[in-house]
């Protein structure tokens, strides 16, 4: 796998700490020889990211602030990346947010503001980011986002995020159609539950992990590395014929009743 992405500039959005899915992806991409560019929102995330990069001997090409809720911030971030890196070959979108109070109880109780916030950060951000990144993806490329089975089925407490992920998955297909003309592919990875900072906000999260261990064909949970490697596959030339797809990395959980 060493040379799959050698010389390729890949933007990774969404490392908050060592448990982040984006950190698992980072390690897979680094092992495949990619030049890595990171975006972060909170200063705290930037500090954690820098420490992790140091610890693992990964030299980032750039680390740039980007608030996915703010069009101007997205535009500025990609302009900076484009000016300095020249060409973007790939992009990892690993960003989502919903208020903790919307991730418990009944979906019917979702507030209008909470609904819009989840859609804004977790789904619309992919549209805005694709629009800006595309300007610098002049040699074609690949965009990968992260989704969850709660988009397809009712997962208790996932509620407003399920609706946001459904919009995200539909966006993957519509964006794939738009940017396919420029030889850019857009796909989503649907990972099994992983204990990350964001996952902590979902009520009863441990039950979701146990359900996968009990029911999935592989009878085990997936880990960050497995999710990272599938993102790597979709970013690489190996997946050159794949776009508009949602690829499950969940030990087969989505296939069982
Ligand atoms: P993390 O909390 O580690 O990562 C979430 C990231 O989203 C953080 O880096 C956070 O940045 C970023 N983020 C939130 N709001 C914004 C914003 N407005 N602008 C920019 N960045 C923002 O959790 P995960 O790694 O679990 O989540 C990554 C993705 O994977 C999400 O899309 C999630 O829904 C998805 N996913 C997670 C699963 C799981 O079980 N954990 C399963 C399937 C999919 P900051 O902290 O700096 O605000």
For the CA of 147, the nearest atom of ligand 1: 44
Which residues are the active-site residues?
148, 158
Q: How far is the CA of 97 from the centre of ligand 1 (A)?
A: 7
CA-nearest residue, atom 35 of ligand 1: 146
Evaluate whether ipTM surpasses 0.90: yes
Pseudo-torsion of CA 224, 230, 236, 241, nearest 10°? Answer: -160
Class of residue 44 by CB neighbours under 10 A (exposed 0-12, middle 13-18, buried 19+): exposed
Q: How far is the CA of 196 from the centre of ligand 1 (A)?
A: 8
Establish whether residue 16 lines the binding site of ligand 1, counting it when its CB lies within 6 angstroms of any ligand atom.
yes
Pseudo-torsion of CA 232, 236, 242, 245, nearest 10°? Answer: 20
- Which domains are assigned to the chain? 9-255 (3.40.50.720)
pLDDT at 1: 53
Sign of the dihedral defined by the CA atoms of residues 117, 123, 127, 128, in that order: positive
- In the beta sheet, which residues pair with residue 13? 39, 93
Pocket mutation for ligand 1, best pick of 95, 126, 158, 191 (most atoms within 8 Å of C-beta): 95
pLDDT at 257: 84
Establish whether residue 49 lines the binding site of ligand 1, counting it when its CB lies within 6 angstroms of any ligand atom.
no
Extended beta strands in the chain, E state:
9-13, 35-40, 62-65, 90-93, 141-147, 184-191, 246-249
List CB contacts of 81: < 8 A, sequence separation 6 or more.
11, 37, 62, 64, 88, 136
What string of pLDDT tens digits covers the 257 residues of the chain?
Answer: 558 999 999 999 999 999 999 999 999 999 999 999 999 999 999 999 999 999 999 999 999 999 999 999 999 999 999 999 999 999 999 999 999 999 999 999 999 999 999 999 999 999 999 999 999 999 999 999 999 999 999 999 999 999 999 999 999 999 999 999 999 999 999 999 999 999 988 888 888 889 999 999 999 999 999 999 999 999 999 999 999 999 999 999 999 98
Residue identified by tokens 């980072």 is 26
Q: How far is the CA of 157 from the centre of ligand 1 (A)?
A: 17
| Main-chain phi, psi angles of 37, to 5 degrees | -120, 130
End-to-end CA distance of the chain: 35
């Amino acid at each position: 796998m060493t040379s799959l992405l050698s010389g390729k500039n890949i933007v990774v959005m969404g490392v908050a700490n060592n448990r982040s899915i984006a950190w698992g992806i980072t390690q897979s991409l680094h092992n495949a020889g990619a030049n890595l560019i990171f975006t972060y929102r909170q200063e705290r995330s930037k500090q954690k990211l820098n420490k992790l990069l140091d610890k693992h001997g990964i030299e980032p090409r750039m680390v740039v602030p980007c608030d996915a809720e703010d069009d101007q911030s997205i535009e500025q971030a990609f302009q900076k990346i484009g000016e300095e890196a020249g060409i973007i070959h790939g992009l990892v979108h690993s960003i989502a947010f919903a208020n903790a109070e919307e991730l418990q109880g009944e979906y019917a109780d979702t507030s209008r503001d909470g609904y819009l916030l989840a859609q804004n950060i977790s789904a619309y951000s992919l549209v805005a980011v694709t629009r800006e990144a595309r300007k610098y993806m002049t040699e074609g490329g690949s965009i990968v986002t992260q989704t969850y089975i709660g988009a397809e089925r009712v997962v208790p407490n996932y509620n407003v995020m399920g609706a946001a992920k459904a919009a995200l998955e539909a966006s993957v297909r519509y964006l794939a159609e738009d940017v396919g003309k420029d030889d850019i592919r857009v796909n989503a990875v649907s990972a099994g539950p992983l204990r990350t900072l964001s996952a902590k906000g979902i009520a009863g999260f441990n039950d979701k992990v146990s359900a996968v261990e009990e029911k999935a064909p592989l009878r085990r949970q997936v880990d960050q590395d497995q999710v990272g490697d599938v993102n790597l596959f979709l970013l690489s030339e190996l997946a050159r014929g794949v776009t508009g797809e949602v690829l499950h990395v969940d030990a087969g959980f989505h296939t069982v009743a």
